[in-house]
Amino acid sequence: MTDRSHAEALDAADPLAPFRDRFVVADPDVVYADGNSLGRLPVQTAERLDLLVQDWGDRIVSGWPDWIELPVRVGDLIGRVIGADPGETLACDSTTVNLYKLASAALDRRPGPIVIHEHDFPTDRYVLEGLAAARGLELRRIAEPTAEAMPDDAALVVLSHVSYRSGVLADLPAITEAAHDRGALVLWDLSHSAGAVPVELTQSGVDLAVGCTYKYLNAGPGAPAFLYVRRELQDELRSPIQGWFGQRDQFAMGPSYEPAEGIERFLAGTPPILGLTAVEVGAELTLEAGVGRLAEKSAALTELTIALYDDRLEPLGFTLETPRDPARRGAHVSIGHDDGWQVCRALIERADVIPDFRPPDSIRLGFAPLYSRFVDVWSAVDRLAGLVESGEYREVDAAGARVT
């Protein structure tokens, strides 16, 4: 179970193994364990962006008729990844901006207390803190995202499906139902779910969702994010940004704003076509591999990570911060160590393993299922254990890089 040969056997039996060749792997000796932060570059993205740049050069403004529908078309592709019906998802703006737009629209419809998880991703907490302050609303921070923690009087519940920190997978259907029973709308952040774990938004009755595309969807640094609004709710909500792309009959250029019907009312300004083209390729690759198969492989990759943790890392003083039950975790595993930051820097500088670090002490190992191999998991843990067993990690200067 913990031999390298076991990892090799898992790779040999992996139906998704051929997808690795669809990505740029510039240095095969480097073990990339940060797909949960920024996915690899798909080979096809470079080709499609080249074509698009040529098209721009050739056609200039006359290209727009082919480009203008991209937020909706790519949105529908992402919709298939997250279990949304056509016409419920848009690819646009950043996750932060989409979160602001949807939370603000929900609070316009019904003001009241806002519930967040105290350890949610910073941007989510900051955006809601700002909205609550601007509107004089109460912001309630819960310690665990569970159905039982849903209060009776909340207007809006905003939670991450998979915790960026611990990898804990929240029970989305049960929490959504509990919040609805108490009269609240629910907004899920799917940044660490899309392309890694199954999500059934429409079926689960989810009201609102956002998420990013540069993690498991491999759309590239700063690629446009997505937003989802349940169909029945769309005409009841208005975007706080009254931009011309969300306007009914946009090119009539009328005197005042009137929101478009349906999901397009949540667009703001001119869509970033280069970025959206990269999102399109990323979503297509994900659908080709199949969300079910990706989720199965994520569970197997994290299972191997935890088995190797038990064998090699636990005896060295590491702690496991991610649940052992595969039904309760996403696609990354977080391990704690008192010298976590220094160990993480040593992995990058001395061992060609790229994880990332979240203060105060968590090292995140994110093996994205589309292109990671089981031997990558084995090598990462082997090199990590080696650095700590020998004490070599202590030789690394702990001051350093801002982005990890």
Ligand X SMILES: *Cc1c(COP(=O)(O)O)cnc(C)c1O
Distances (CA, A) of 242 to 31, 264, 378, 391: 45, 12, 51, 57
Segment near ligand X (CB under 6 A), from 18-26, 188-196, 261-269, 275-283? 188-196
DSSP labels for 302-337? HHHHHHHIIIIIGGGT-EE-S-SSGGGB-SEEEEE-
Compute the distance between CA of residue 84 and CA of residue 323 in angstroms, rounded to an integer.
27
* 235 given a catalytic annotation: no
Number of other residues whose CB lies within 10 A of the CB of residue 353: 25
Among residues 19, 214, 357, 371, the one annotated as catalytic is: 214
Interface mask (CB under 6 A) for ligand X, residues 32-71, using x and -? ----------------------------------------
Shortest separation between residue 124's beta carbon and ligand X, angstroms: 5
In the residue annotation, 374 being an active-site residue is answered as: no
Q: Is 364 a known active-site residue?
A: yes
- Nearest residue to 341 (alpha-carbon basis) of 363, 319, 323: 363
- Kindly tell me which of 304 and 368 has the beta carbon lying closer to ligand X: 368
Window 193-222: residues binding ligand X (CB under 6 A): 212
How crowded is the C-beta side of 364, counted as CA atoms within 13 Å?
A: 24
| Residue 362 touching ligand X (CB under 6 A) | no
| Given 192, 230, 345, 364, the residue binding ligand X (CB under 6 A) | 192
Q: How far apart are CA 179 and CA 177, in angstroms?
A: 5
Binding positions for ligand X, 95-154, rule CB under 6 A: 95-96, 121, 123-124
Kindly tell me which of 128 and 351 has the beta carbon lying closer to ligand X. Answer: 128
Taking the alpha carbons at both ends of the chain, their separation in whole angstroms is 31
Catalytic residue among 40, 101, 215, 345: 215
- Could you give the CA distance from residue 322 to residue 306 in angstroms, rounded to a whole number? 9
Active site residue 238: no
* Sequence-distant contacts of 20-28: CB under 8 A, at least 24 apart: 20/370, 20/371, 20/372, 20/373, 22/285, 22/370, 22/371, 23/218, 23/370, 23/371, 25/371, 27/352
Q: Which of 40, 101, 329, 364 is catalytic?
A: 364
Q: Is 264 a binder of ligand X (CB under 6 A)?
A: no
Q: How far is the CB of 164 from ligand X (least distance, A)?
A: 4
**Nearest to ligand X of 186, 388 (CB atom):** 186
Computed over its alpha carbons, how large is the radius of gyration of the chain?
22
- Give the DSSP H or E segment for 293: helix 291-308
161 binds ligand X (CB under 6 A): no
Provide, rounded to whole angstroms, the least separation between the CB of residue 212 and ligand X. Answer: 5
Min dist CB 91 to ligand X, Å, is: 13
Q: Which of 11, 30, 85, 94 binds ligand X (CB under 6 A)?
A: 94
215 counts as catalytic = yes
What are the backbone dihedrals phi and psi of residue 224, each rounded to the nearest 5 degrees, phi first? -55, 150
Indicate which residue of 121, 228, 374, 393 is catalytic.
121
> Which parts of this chain interact with ligand X (CB under 6 A)?
94-96, 121, 123-124, 160, 164, 189, 191-192, 212, 225
- Residues taking part in catalysis: 121, 189, 214-215, 364
